[in-house]
Structure 1
Amino acid sequence: MSSQDEIFSRKSAQARSARMVETIYGCKWSLTVYQLLANGINRPGQMVRSVEGLTTKVLNECLRKNMEFGIVERVAHNEVPPRVEYAITPFGEKFIRILDGLEKLQSEIASER
């Protein structure tokens, strides 16, 4: 068999990574949360106050999804009153770079039209 006769198997998207991208892009607040965290706004109350239209319920749901995927981590401080902060994980930093690449690709597609 020559190299030109090589047979390739069908390639499909990895189920978990495809679901992760779809879920995060489907959540209209995830990208905003990443932007808040990048700007040092890491406490839930401060996040809600910083973005018009963002509610505590929606923020908690968004953060929970991101924690399930390992993109964001919850840091609970042992203090009175309790203090909770959120941070991007090392995996999350890699994932956000991929999202940035998708955004750049979308900008290139839009500029070609």
Structure 2
Amino acid sequence: MNFKEKQIERKIPPQESARMVETIYGCKWSLTVYQLLANGINRPGEMVRTVDGLSTKVLNQCLKKNTEFGILKKTVYHELPPRVEYQVTEFGNKFLAVLEQIEALQEDLNNLSR
């Protein structure tokens, strides 16, 4: 009998990145936050004032998740009154590019179903 050596192992899906995408899409405000940052609005108070229905509590939860994933960077300025700003990190820019590709894929799927 001729036994071939196995050349390819079972591919396992990326656990952490899949969870990250799921978490971000699960937070209904993350995409809005990215849009605000792209428009130069990077302070939480201004974000809440700019978007109807966005509360400070929910925004802070959303910003915390994004900061923990490394998508956003929080900068605290030690001045009175206190000032906090958020920026997209280098990793965050890569992540946002992936989200754009997912949105393009969704557009393609929508066009196929018509």
Q: With structure 2 as the length reference, what TM-score do the two structures score?
A: 0.91
1:30-45 equivalent positions in 2, closer than 5 A? 30-45=30-45
Q: Whole-Å Cα distance in 1 between the matches of residues 8 and 33 of structure 2?
A: 41
Task: Report % sequence identity.
Answer: 60
1:10 matched to 2:10? The reply is: yes
Q: Whole-Å Cα distance in 2 between the matches of residues 72 and 58 of structure 1?
A: 16
Q: Which runs of 5+ in 1 are unaligned?
A: none
Deviations, residues 71-108 of structure 1 (Å, cap 9, x unaligned): 00111112111100111001000000000000010011
1:1-113 equivalent positions in 2, closer than 5 A? 7-113=7-113
Q: With structure 1 as the length reference, what TM-score do the two structures score?
A: 0.92
The alpha-carbon deviation at position 6 of structure 1 amounts to: 5.9
Q: Secondary structure at the match of 1:80?
A: coil
Q: Which runs of 4+ in 1 moved over 4 A?
A: none
Q: Whole-Å Cα distance in 1 between the matches of residues 62 and 109 of structure 2?
A: 28
Q: Which runs of 5+ in 2 are unaligned?
A: none
CA RMSD, Structure 1 to Structure 2 (Å): 1.7
Q: Whole-Å Cα distance in 1 between the matches of residues 51 and 111 of structure 2?
A: 29
